[in-house]
Amino acid sequence: MSYYLLEPEVAGELGEDTVMDTSVHPPVVSRLQYVIQDWLGDEILESTPCFVVTEHLAGLIGAAGLSGYRLADAEVVLGEDAEELAEGPIDLPKWQWLQLTGTERSDDFGASANGSLVVSERALEVLRQGTLNNCDVTPL
């Protein structure tokens, strides 16, 4: 099976309400707040070491029976300047935290040694059913 390194759109940053243990690498996050500053519309976003997906994409992932992940609640909010950068109101979808539980090249979702997102060809096909216009995809 083929695997791919994904570098999703970085549309913001971890917010003040994120709880993270930085004594380990990659850091371990136990509560996630993602603050969107400049979103281009992709349905998977990153702010190291976390990934969030729209509820729409989360549903597609769940329906496909993929392995190596779990979905959790995430607080995703607009930053102070987000609507100004977008030059108008933003209709923000609901988001889920995509937590990687799999191992690289053995599950559909996994983390590389440095915490980057690695997906199987099957998972990539599912993700491409959503919007991924600003996600870099590199074959491994």
Residue-wise pLDDT for 8-55, tens only, equals 999 999 999 999 999 987 788 999 999 999 999 999 999 989 999 999
Q: Is residue 85 within 8 Å of residue 23, measured between CB atoms?
A: no
Our count of domains for the chain comes to: 1
Percentage of the chain exceeding pLDDT 90? 74
Confidence band, pLDDT 50/70/90 cuts, at residue 114:
confident
pTM above threshold 0.85: yes
Q: In which domain, by residue range, is 102 found? A: 3-139
Nearest to 117, CA basis, from 34, 52, 25: 52
Residue type, 91: D
**Alpha-carbon span 140 to 3, nearest angstrom:** 6
What is d(CA 117, CA 51) in angstroms, rounded to the nearest whole number? 9
Neighbours of 22 (CB within 10 A): 10
* Measured distance CA(127)–CA(54) in Å, rounded: 11
Residues 6+ apart with CB under 8 A from 100: 51, 68, 69, 109, 110, 111, 117
β-bridge mates for residue 98, sequence order: 71
Contact between residue 98 and residue 51 where contact means Cβ atoms under 8 Å apart:
yes
Cβ partners under 8 Å of residue 47, min gap 6: 10, 12, 13, 14, 34
